[in-house]
Amino acid sequence: MRHLSQGRKLNRHSSHRIALARSQATQLFRHGRIKTTLAKAKNLRPYVEKLITTAKGGDLHARRLVIKEIHDQEVVRKLMDDIAPKFADRPGGYTRIYRLGVRRGDGTQEALIELVDAE
C-alpha cells in the first residue's frame, strides 16, 4: 500500500531533489514556462503552487518564507511584485502542464509547464 508516500524519487537523493525543484522553480518564475520531463513537471507543480500561495500574502514574513526556498533575489522580487498579484483572486491552479510527446534519445515523456496567465 502507498499510504503517506508522496512525491517522486526521480532517481536522486533528497538533497538533489530539493536542489532540482528549487532550480526548476527559479527558471519557471524567470521565464514563465520551461520544458522538462513529465515526471519532473508533475513533481514541480505542487512546489511552485505552494510558493505562489505563500507569496500572495505579500508581507515581510511571506517574502522571507519565499527567500528561504528561492535564493535568487531578482526572481523573488518578480514573484512577489508581478506574479503573485496576478493570482490574487485565484484560489489555486496557477500552473498548466502540456504533454509534448516522447524524447527521441531515451523515449521519456516530455512536458511543458507554464504559469497560467491570470487576466
CATH number at residue 70: 3.90.1030.10
Per-residue confidence band for 8, with pLDDT thresholds at 50, 70 and 90:
confident
**Cα angle vertex 43, ends 14, 110, to 5°?**
120
Confidence of residue 82 (pLDDT cuts 50, 70, 90): very high
Task: Assess whether pLDDT exceeds 80 at residue 1.
Answer: no
Q: Does residue 43 fall inside a structural domain?
A: yes
Cell of 117: 496567465
Residues 8, 41: contact at Cβ < 8 Å? no
Is there a domain that residue 8 lies in?
A: no
| Alpha helices (runs of H) in the chain, residue ranges in sequence order | 14-31, 38-55, 60-69, 73-78, 84-86
Residues 52, 20: Cα–Cα separation, whole Å: 18
Per-residue confidence at 118, pLDDT binned at 50, 70, 90? low
Note whether residue 5 is domain-resident.
Answer: no
Dihedral sign from CA coordinates of 83, 84, 85, 87 = positive
Q: How confident is the model at residue 31 (pLDDT cuts 50, 70, 90)?
A: very high
pLDDT more than 70, % of the chain: 98
Domains identified in the chain, total number: 1
Alpha-carbon 30 to chain mean position: 11
pLDDT tens column, 43-54 = 999 999 999 999
What pLDDT sits at residue 5?
A: 78
42: which residues sit within 8 A by CB, 6+ positions away?
Answer: 8, 97, 111
Q: Which domain holds residue 109?
A: 14-115
| pTM score of the predicted model | 0.91
